[in-house]
Amino acid sequence: MNSTPLSSIALVLLGSVIGSFGAVFLKLGAAHLVGGWRYIFNWQLAAGIALYLSSSVPFVMALKHGQLSVLYPMVSASYICAFAWSRLFFNEPITGGKIAALGLILAGIVCIGIGAR
């Protein structure tokens, strides 16, 4: 296996998006825990867990034809998605430090993708 196909990279990025939505639902479900742990069974937490688990399906499919050393670091694309969702759904602040960190993550993903060719 000399290179990682673009289809494998796309599958990992798809899994990252799915997993980032899992984080959104986990946060929404965690808001119900203020009433105590008896509220741990709520649909938002269940959806978050389901999304996290389902995000592994495209990742496993990608590993079939791709290099782990290329694909696994690309899972960090979920941080970029989570940043966008945190602003969109929770109105969390965008700071210069966060933008710089996301830029570094994106640069790393691009470098890894280029190195896969």
Q: How far apart are CA 35 and CA 32, in angstroms?
A: 6
Distances (CA, A) of 85 to 7, 39, 52, 90: 25, 24, 15, 8
Domain with 54 in it:
6-115
Confidence of residue 111 (pLDDT cuts 50, 70, 90): confident
pLDDT digits (tens, 9 = 90+) for 30-45: 888 887 777 778 899 9
Q: Which residues contact 117 (CB under 8 A, 6 or more apart)?
A: 3
Q: Which two tokens stand for residue 86?
A: 């945190």
pTM of the model: 0.85
Structural domain count of the chain: 1
Residue 11 lies in a domain: yes
Residue 1 lies in a domain: no
Residue 63 lies in a domain: yes
Tell whether the model's pLDDT for residue 19 goes beyond 60. yes
Residue 61 lies in a domain: yes
